[in-house]
A = this chain, B = another copy of it.
Amino acid sequence: MLKIALVGYGNIGRFALKALEAAGDMECCGVVRRSASAEGCPELSGYRIVKDPRELGSVDAAVLCVPSRLVEQTASEYLSLGISTVDSFDIHSEIFDMRSRLDAIAKANGAASIISAGWDPGSDSIVRALLRALAPEGITYTNFGPGRSMGHTVVAKSVPGVKDALSMTIPEGKGVHSRKVYVETQPGADFAAVAAAIKADPYFASDKTDVEQVADVPALNTLMHGVDIEREGVSSQTLGQEMEFRMRINNPALTGQILVGAARAVCARTPGCYTMIEVPPIDFLEGGAEELIRSLV
């Protein structure tokens, strides 16, 4: 059994624990939380909760369930301890450079890291690589949603007069997206002014944005998200090859599952830092090579 530590226990961490519990070849050997407490989380009873990973003894890999902006610092710290890491760092433009920096730390400490192991970046990256292999020239459209956009929701919440908000990404097709923002205003706030301020924010200004006033944002409870990746391209100088990948999924449940598959894969890597497209797909899976090849190939 691979010994896996969870680092952070928010939305993603909760689902990663469920994925670990469902895996037959791994076990959660502890949860690292700043509070070192299981308070309010009855499902953590029976697990070791610690403040410092060194309290857990030997660990095969750590699943970092921390916000993206804390990933590099946390990964560096664990890799420096010789503990391999996986994360779902999602700032696309910074991935390559972070990989270079973590690669050096991982190699210096005999550990490995798989970064950006969520669904986008992550499994969608594998799909994009596969579609490129099938049709090296062509156009790919990535359509997200409908689903909650974390970044846009944070921005909408920060507008003066907003009590609570939810920003949904709506796919309009061919890679174009619009925004639907549900807003609960503060008492006395002018909804028209709030809506105008949201639409004027740089996060929203370039997209078609519809703002709707609602009485209760938390009641618009959804974890569902989706993606539709379409490619039309050229294989062997033959035009018109059409391929598409789409899914409709519970967002944190899928992220937790992918992280746990990546934790399995990272334990089989030589030291260094990898993105998911640099890892053989079979390594994410539970089971022996013979059974997997017989059933999947």
Chain A residues in the interface with B (C-beta under 8 A)? 15-16, 18-19, 21-23, 92, 95-96, 99, 116, 119, 121, 123, 125-130, 132-137, 234-238, 240-250, 252-254, 256-258, 260-261, 275-282, 284-286, 289-290, 292-294, 296-297
Contact = CB atoms under 8 A, between A and B. Distances in A.
Contacts of A276: 297
A95 B293 contact: yes
A292 to B, nearest CB: 7
A116 B236 contact: no
Given A241-B250, A246-B244, A277 B297 contact: yes
Contact of A238 (B23, B96, B253): B253
A244 B238 CA distance: 24
A291 B229 CA distance: 20
A22 B126 CA distance: 23
Contact of A282 (B116, B278, B282): B278
B297 A275 contact: yes
A235 to B, nearest CB: 4
A293 B275 contact: yes
Give 5 nearest A-B pairs by CB, closest first. Answer: A238-B253, A243-B247, A235-B257, A15-B236, A129-B281
